């Protein structure tokens, strides 16, 4: 089974554009309530993921001391400066669910792209786990609790 039926579409996903200012990115990340979210470029292509930690560690790296940190000092920076490029690899829409399990061990979601590298949504770790639990319910030797 491919991941299309598990896709949470881009219209329902929090994401950042790589040309947003640091302030815009931080505000949107905070409003999302998530620890990390996908980043896309102006042509909607997936470019990576940015997390709360990425912002924090990079802000600290660009300043000599904590007293120097102000949004005014950082206003020249964009989300692009904080992206984890290549760290969270996307999956193609025709990827099999079985291929997402390894990725889900290390991240809460898997970004999904089309054949032009355009970001189309995510598959959440909870949906991946649910898929495998449901698939294994009838497997001999496995005793899963009943669905709630």
Token readout for 62 is 């660009």
| C-alpha of 63 from chain center | 27
Output the CA angle 118-122-21, nearest 5 degrees: 65
Per-residue pLDDT of the chain (148 residues; tens, 9 = 90+): 678 889 999 999 999 999 998 888 989 999 999 999 999 999 999 999 999 888 888 777 766 666 666 666 667 788 988 886 678 889 999 888 888 888 888 888 999 999 999 999 999 999 998 888 888 877 777 665 665 5
Token readout for 65 is 């001391």
Q: Is the pTM of this model over 0.75?
A: yes
Q: Tokens 């690899």 identify what position? A: 89
From the CB of residue 37, how many other CB atoms can be counted at a distance below 10 Å?
22
Residues 10 and 120: beta-carbon distance below 8 Å = yes
| Cα→Cα distances 49→14, 44, 71, 106, Å | 11, 14, 22, 13
Distance (Å, whole) CA 49 – CA 36: 7
H or E segment to which residue 121 belongs: strand 119-124
């Amino acid at each position: 089974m491919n991941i299309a039926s598990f896709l949470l579409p881009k219209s329902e996903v929090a994401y950042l554009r790589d040309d947003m200012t640091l302030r815009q990115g931080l505000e949107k990340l905070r409003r999302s309530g998530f620890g990390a979210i996908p980043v896309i470029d102006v042509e909607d292509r997936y470019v990576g993921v940015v997390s709360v930690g990425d912002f924090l560690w990079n802000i600290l790296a660009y300043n000599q001391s904590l007293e120097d940190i102000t949004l005014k000092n950082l206003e020249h920076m964009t989300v692009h400066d904080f992206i984890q490029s290549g760290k969270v690899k996307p999956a193609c829409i025709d990827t099999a669910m079985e291929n997402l399990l390894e990725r889900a061990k290390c991240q809460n979601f898997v970004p999904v792209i089309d054949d032009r590298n355009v970001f189309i949504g995510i598959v959440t770790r909870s949906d991946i786990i649910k898929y495998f639990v449901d698939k294994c319910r009838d497997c001999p030797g496995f005793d899963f609790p009943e669905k709630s």
